[in-house]
Amino acid sequence: MWTSAKAPSLAEMETMAHDLLARLPKTFRDLCAGVIIRVEDFPTEDVLDEMGAESEFDLLGLFQGTGLPQQSSGDIARLPNLIWLYRRPILDYWAEHDETLGRIVRHVLIHEIGHHFGLSDEDMAAIEASVD
């Protein structure tokens, strides 16, 4: 089995993310209608600079757009919200931790969806801590 194992491609990881999203509760998924999920190997240099990242491996994912709390019915047309998953940093994290790849991708995906809902990193950490 291990002789044929390989890291998932960009397309395979994007499929994994969409499959994981489809397994989340319907009310959660409904609030994500119109959010686009994309997978790239690494964040762009502009994103790394904007986020103050020291390395291209520092970011596993990113939410870009206008979170639900900031949206209003009077908004002018805007670009869709995006969730970026960064394959190589996720794979690097996976290699260094005792977690399944699916669990890591699910965690990053839910974290970025949390930003879509308007939650801060601190809010999400508190929620996760209360569940653990």
The CATH number of residue 120's host domain is: 3.30.2010.20
What lies within 8 Å, CB to CB, of 25 at 6+ separation is none
Cβ of 38: how many Cβ atoms within 10 Å? 14
The neighbour count for residue 43, using CB atoms within 10 Å, is 23
Flag whether 100 is in a domain.
yes
Give domain status of residue 4, yes or no: no
pTM reported for the whole predicted model: 0.83
Per-residue pLDDT tens digits for 120-132? 888 777 766 655 5
103 domain-assigned: yes
Number of domains in the chain: 1
Q: Give percent of the chain with pLDDT exceeding 70.
A: 84
72 is a domain residue: no
Starting at the earlier edge strand, list the strands of the sheet with 36-40: 36-40, 82-86, 61-64
pLDDT tens per residue across span 87-114:
999 999 999 999 999 989 988 998 888 8
Comparing 86 with 70, the larger pLDDT belongs to 86
Q: Which amino acid is at 25?
A: P
Q: Is 116 a residue whose pLDDT tops 60?
A: yes
Overall average pLDDT of the 44-71 stretch = 87
pLDDT on residue 13: 96
Residue 1: predicted pLDDT: 65
Whether 74 is in a domain gets the answer no
Residue carrying the six token digits 């970025």: 112
What is the structure's pLDDT at 72? 56
Quick one: which of 120, 104, 116 has its CA closest to 29? Answer: 116
The pair of three-digit structure tokens given for residue 25, joined into one six-digit string: 């509760």
pLDDT band of residue 80 (cuts 50, 70, 90) is: confident
What is the chain's mean pLDDT, rounded?
85
Question: Is residue 45 assigned to a domain?
Answer: yes
Query: Residue 33: inside a domain, yes or no?
Result: yes
Does a structural domain hold residue 47? yes
Cα R_g (the chain), whole angstroms:
15
Give the domain extent around 23. 9-65+79-131
| Distances in whole angstroms, Cα of residue 75 to Cα of each of 37, 79, 130 | 22, 11, 35
